[in-house]
Amino acid sequence: MREIVHMVHTSLDGCVEGPAGEFDWPVMGPELSGYSQELAGRYGEFAYGRKVWDMMSAFWPTAETTSDHPHDIAFAPVWRSTPKIVFSRTLEKADWNTRVVGGALPEVVTSLKAEPGKDVLLMGGAELAAELTAHGLIDEYQVFVHPVILGGTKRPFAEGTARLGLELAESRTFDGRVVLLRLRRA
């Protein structure tokens, strides 16, 4: 049975974006970038909700021509070649080696986890991660805490999410500034 691993960047105050939707604050230093590359190589598919998909698909296909950051240049070909899943009730098709899945989330994800292959890396987002968490469908959380306070309102776990016991599997610091909390369902 494949696992779903949720990877998310948050601010110190637990936000995934600034008050106006900004996502310009995560700093990808060399250590964090290297770990991100290593992490991406472990998974058979990347998964996104619709909003994160829109952001990712607008940037990664041409990242080498719009960015000179070493992380972006190294990750863009990995992003393009890795199979992707978008969970959406409205999107009908997507490019870049991507399949769109809709329907009742518990059944769709249970079926996805039963497929052969490597685990699935769910990147970012809030609504999809909260819904999958509520249904007990995420096996591991990799939360990258950045040293910034954003004052936003969007968090990776929606208000009202039921209590969930987790076990700390690993904690680690990257580039002397970003802390990884790797947690597994208890």
185 lies in some domain: no
Domain span holding position 136: 4-180
pLDDT at 166: 95
Residue 30, CA distances (Å) to 25, 93, 129, 137, 138 in order = 16, 34, 27, 32, 28
**Total number of residues shown for the chain:** 186
112 lies in some domain: yes
Strand partners, 7: 123, 142
User: Is the pTM higher than 0.95?
Assistant: no
pLDDT at 161: 73
HSE-CB of 70 using CA atoms within 13 angstroms = 10
pLDDT at 160: 67
176 lies in some domain: yes
**Structural domains of the chain, count:** 1
84 lies in some domain: yes
79 lies in some domain: yes
71 lies in some domain: yes
DSSP at 186: -
125 lies in some domain: yes
186 lies in some domain: no
Looking at residue 119, which CATH number applies to its domain? 3.40.430.10
Per-residue pLDDT of the chain (186 residues; tens, 9 = 90+): 999 999 999 999 999 999 999 999 999 999 999 999 999 999 999 999 999 999 999 999 999 999 999 999 999 999 999 999 999 999 999 999 999 999 899 999 999 999 999 999 999 878 899 889 989 999 999 999 999 999 988 888 766 677 889 999 999 999 999 999 999 998
